[in-house]
Structure 1
Amino acid sequence: MRRGGRRLRRARNFVFLKDVAALSCTAFGGPSAHLAMMFRLLVEKRRYLSAAELLELQALCALLPGPTSTQTVTVIGYRLGGPNLAYLTLLVWVLPATLLMTLAALTLSRLNPALVAALVQFVQPVAVGFVAFSAYRIGEKVIQTKTAVGLTVASAMLAYFFQLPWVLPVLLLAGGAVTTVRYRKHVIEPEKKPLQVEWANFLLWLGILVGAALLGHYTRWLPVRLFENFYRNGSLVFGGGQVLAPLLFAEFVEFKHYLTPPEFLSGLGMVQLVPGPNFSIAAYIGALAMRAQGSGTGGQVLGALVGTAGIFLPGTFLIFFVLRFWARLRQYRVVKASLEGINAVSAGLVCAATLLLYHPLPDRLLALPGHWHLGSITAVPLNPLLVGTTFLLLLWERVPAVVLVMVALAAGALAG
């Protein structure tokens, strides 16, 4: 019996990793589009978790520093198979984007951003269709009360008009606070387990942060210093790639001069055009930063590896730390009541993301010093007809999301 159960778990874990691999190769459009595709594949098709659970985990990740979509998919892996599956999930999720951004850094002199932009020109409207469909389905499943409707509409409007890094966590906390007043309506857990906080992952995060800083200071070895730079930024940034980019620009371009402004902005444009997490720009910057060492391709690949590890590990350690006591924390009626408001706000943020995706990220970036622009790299046409067609095809439920992305890429190749 045990052997059979183990075999079933391994088979399920393998299928889950295949699903994550499919997402990592087709999830264009940034965190909101990633959430939409996770909802369609992991919730509606595979039923690894419910819509409310996905929103709850996504909101929990949004309250912590680091890449939200990466943390969310990693946490789903953790829930299904523990730490080992979670780390494999993280690896599978970041690998395609990291490889593409490393390749972009290695072939920078031969790279033609206009051709790459032409290839993916129809992907962004398809991604908007994914997000619109996700907003529709999520609203259908988790918005059940007038309070939830009000919170969804209010949070969507505020997120759309106030695009600031602190707005998202404040809205989530405020939404939770609004519905905590209803805590008496929730049933008291008959056998509530005492809250216990395991500090191992927090201490691991802090130990690496301090240890890398000390080791880099005393050895002056560039790969260690790069790891520390990215690890520190990954530990402090809230709000995703739109907040991370100005920080990296200030540190690696203006202060340390590892890259020129056009090189950085070319990478920023490229990361919008590859599937997977936007934080994979760390691989690009790490590879270019190692050029000064004269260590050739091997050194640049090492730079990409330490950049990737540095940017993704802090958020992973922190979400593992919170997740270990979250299951017990949510037993309390006040926390249960707050989840209604948090989920409603999360649905509102997805609605806002549908509109915000009509404005490419670099145009909304927090006024990068020097006012550099990407020009044709981000000039992606957004065709309302493609958005509507994508939405209707997803509603029809006969066409897989992967097929829609592949068709959009093929159309871009033909048009380009």
Structure 2
Amino acid sequence: MAVRKVRYYLYLKDVILLSVTAFGGPQAFLAMILDLMVRKRAYITESELWELNALCQVLPGPTSTQTISAIGYRIGGPALAYLSLLVWILPATILMIAAAFLIDFLQESTPGALSFAKFIQPMAIGFIIYAAQKTIFKMVKTAEATVLMMLAAFISFFYHSPYVFPILLFVGGLVTSLNYKNHPREKGDKKLRISWSNFYLWAGILVFAALLGALTKNQSVLLFENFYRNGSLIFGGGQVLVPYLYTEFVEFKRFLSSQEFLTGYAISQGMPGPTFSISSYVGALSMREYGVVGLLTGGFIAAAGIFLPGTFLIFFVIKFWDQLKKYRPVRAALEGINAVSCGMLIAAAYLLFEPLDANLFNVLAIFGTYLLLNFTRLSSPVIIIIGVLAGIGYNLIF
């Protein structure tokens, strides 16, 4: 028993280490997991890691967070999984809430305080374009998927309601699931043995939060429901979360300005840990009217709302994934869901550019960022620092 306790402690210590050093997105995160948790610690085998990561990628929610939680679940069950979830998200959550405090304070105390972000706001769009390119080449491989991607981009651009997104995802998955015969059969027992407890937990909280919010109109409850719903629908990682948050909190509810949102997104690219931590920044600023308590409450509520659904779902599916993935319609539906997610990402780049002035400085900042990401080895934090320094220098000179 003592050995098991030490192992749990070591695992949580490794998760803390990852949470403050995992810069560079999902690829760098996976490389660090492979080195630390597979080769050095041998918590799981390499094949188990790839299987868990693949499962997390086909579920809604933050892939890196689900992977960490799933490894914890394999080692020590639900208790360790929830502890590892908390340890993984806490540093990034605190940093992004601190960023919200800073942005709010600067704007309250100094007119034009966001001038230091002159370049990092358009640079955020460069990050999205780069992410879109990587995601599209990975996920869109057929003519049908390409058409779905372009239709999703077109609809997402012209119809900004957050309720359009889940409909698009459902339709995209349904369209490609009809072509399931193109996928090879897999041998083996297909009989599903399902434990529904975590599904009921996920769905129960979703329905309860929606009903409670509708009845009470309490902003904290409504905020939790908003993020919980988004966390239940996001396929494709943190970059796909951007159009959801921008549409709902900037265009639909106007809790943040476009300038504030872009600044926060750029800052989040320089933070370690999960990319979904941008939610804490958005949640904090959404409740700034309630002062310091509101900023803190909004940030932590947003974190809970965005991260919990994916955790519940991975715990639900992990027990019967081996049987589920043998069904060809399930595998076929993922193609359409991924294509629609890519379309939303394309629309996000256009929507985020709209409020900016179409001047030479912004265009150069966008494409300069894209070129640095694509053709150099500079890390995201370094690129963000360059952008901040360039903004400060520009203001001093002009």
TM-score, structure 1 normalization: 0.66
Deviation track 1:173-199 (CA, whole Å, cap 9, x = no partner) reads 99x98885474xxxx7xxx89742111
Quickly say closer, same or farther: Cα 1:378–1:104, change in 2 above 3 A: farther
Q: Which runs of 5+ in 2 are unaligned?
A: 107-112, 121-126, 132-136, 153-168, 339-343, 391-398
Alignment match, 2:109: none
Amino acid across the alignment from 1:382? L
1:36 Cα deviation (Å)? 2.4
2:304 pairs with one of 309, 313, 325: 309
Alignment match, 1:132: none
CA contact (8 A) 1:197 1:324 kept: yes
2:354 pairs with one of 368, 371, 384: 371
Percentage of pairs with the same residue: 46
Looking at structure 2, the residues matched to 17 and 116 of structure 1 have their Cα atoms a distance apart, in angstroms, of: 38
Looking at structure 2, the residues matched to 62 and 169 of structure 1 have their Cα atoms a distance apart, in angstroms, of: 15
Quickly say closer, same or farther: Cα 1:45–1:363, change in 2 above 3 A: farther
Deviation track 1:225-260 (CA, whole Å, cap 9, x = no partner) reads 100111111111211222211111111111111111
Looking at structure 2, the residues matched to 113 and 51 of structure 1 have their Cα atoms a distance apart, in angstroms, of: 44
1:95 Cα deviation (Å)? 1.0
Deviation track 1:138-177 (CA, whole Å, cap 9, x = no partner) reads xxxxxxxxxxxxxxx9979779x969597x999x999x98
1:236 pairs with one of 233, 236, 239: 233
Deviation track 1:340-366 (CA, whole Å, cap 9, x = no partner) reads x99xx9xxx9xxxxxxxxxxx999844
Quickly say closer, same or farther: Cα 1:253–1:156, change in 2 above 3 A: closer
Alignment match, 2:161: none
Alignment match, 1:248: 245
Instruction: Establish whether residue 102 from structure 1 lines up as the match of residue 92 from structure 2.
Output: no
1:324 Cα deviation (Å)? 2.5
Looking at structure 2, the residues matched to 72 and 286 of structure 1 have their Cα atoms a distance apart, in angstroms, of: 24
Amino acid across the alignment from 2:214? H
1:44 Cα deviation (Å)? 2.5
Instruction: Establish whether residue 27 from structure 1 lines up as the match of residue 22 from structure 2.
Output: yes
Alignment match, 2:75: 80
Deviation track 1:108-145 (CA, whole Å, cap 9, x = no partner) reads 0267766997xxxxxx9xxx9xxxxxxxxxxxxxxxxx
2:262 pairs with one of 265, 269, 288: 265
Quickly say closer, same or farther: Cα 1:104–1:363, change in 2 above 3 A: farther
Q: Which runs of 5+ in 1 are unaligned?
A: 1-5, 118-123, 129-152, 350-360, 391-403
CA contact (8 A) 1:24 1:275 kept: yes
Looking at structure 2, the residues matched to 85 and 18 of structure 1 have their Cα atoms a distance apart, in angstroms, of: 12
Amino acid across the alignment from 1:261? S
Alignment match, 1:401: none
Alignment match, 2:219: 222
Quickly say closer, same or farther: Cα 1:280–1:173, change in 2 above 3 A: farther
Which is worse superposed, 38-47 or 88-97? Answer: 38-47
CA contact (8 A) 1:64 1:319 kept: yes
Which is worse superposed, 197-206 or 317-326? Answer: 317-326
CA contact (8 A) 1:113 1:266 kept: no
CA contact (8 A) 1:21 1:92 kept: yes
Looking at structure 2, the residues matched to 9 and 31 of structure 1 have their Cα atoms a distance apart, in angstroms, of: 29
Alignment match, 2:396: none
Deviation track 1:358-414 (CA, whole Å, cap 9, x = no partner) reads xxx999844225624695599557388964xx9xxxxxxxxxxxxx999x79x989x
Looking at structure 2, the residues matched to 27 and 249 of structure 1 have their Cα atoms a distance apart, in angstroms, of: 25
Residues matched between the structures, number: 336
Alignment match, 1:146: none
CA contact (8 A) 1:77 1:85 kept: yes
Q: What is the Cα-based RMSD across aligned positions, in Å?
A: 4.6
CA contact (8 A) 1:197 1:325 kept: yes
SS of the residue corresponding to residue 28 of structure 1 reads coil
Instruction: Establish whether residue 382 from structure 1 lines up as the match of residue 372 from structure 2.
Output: yes
1:318 pairs with one of 300, 307, 313: 313
Looking at structure 2, the residues matched to 33 and 306 of structure 1 have their Cα atoms a distance apart, in angstroms, of: 28
Quickly say closer, same or farther: Cα 1:290–1:272, change in 2 above 3 A: same
1:310 Cα deviation (Å)? 0.6
Amino acid across the alignment from 1:289? S
CA contact (8 A) 1:96 1:276 kept: yes
CA contact (8 A) 1:113 1:270 kept: no
Amino acid across the alignment from 1:265? L
Quickly say closer, same or farther: Cα 1:195–1:250, change in 2 above 3 A: closer
Quickly say closer, same or farther: Cα 1:305–1:8, change in 2 above 3 A: same
Looking at structure 2, the residues matched to 173 and 55 of structure 1 have their Cα atoms a distance apart, in angstroms, of: 24
Quickly say closer, same or farther: Cα 1:196–1:362, change in 2 above 3 A: closer
Amino acid across the alignment from 2:318? L
Looking at structure 2, the residues matched to 365 and 304 of structure 1 have their Cα atoms a distance apart, in angstroms, of: 23
Instruction: Establish whether residue 282 from structure 1 lines up as the match of residue 279 from structure 2.
Output: yes
2:53 pairs with one of 50, 58, 74: 58
CA contact (8 A) 2:240 2:345 kept: no
**Superposition pairs of residues 335-346 of structure 1, within 5 angstroms:** none
**Superposition pairs of residues 198-209 of structure 1, within 5 angstroms:** 198-209=195-206
Looking at structure 2, the residues matched to 315 and 154 of structure 1 have their Cα atoms a distance apart, in angstroms, of: 22
1:51 Cα deviation (Å)? 2.3
After the TM superposition, which parts of structure 1 deviate over 6 Å for at least 4 consecutive aligned residues?
153-159, 176-179, 361-364, 383-386
Instruction: Establish whether residue 210 from structure 1 lines up as the match of residue 207 from structure 2.
Output: yes
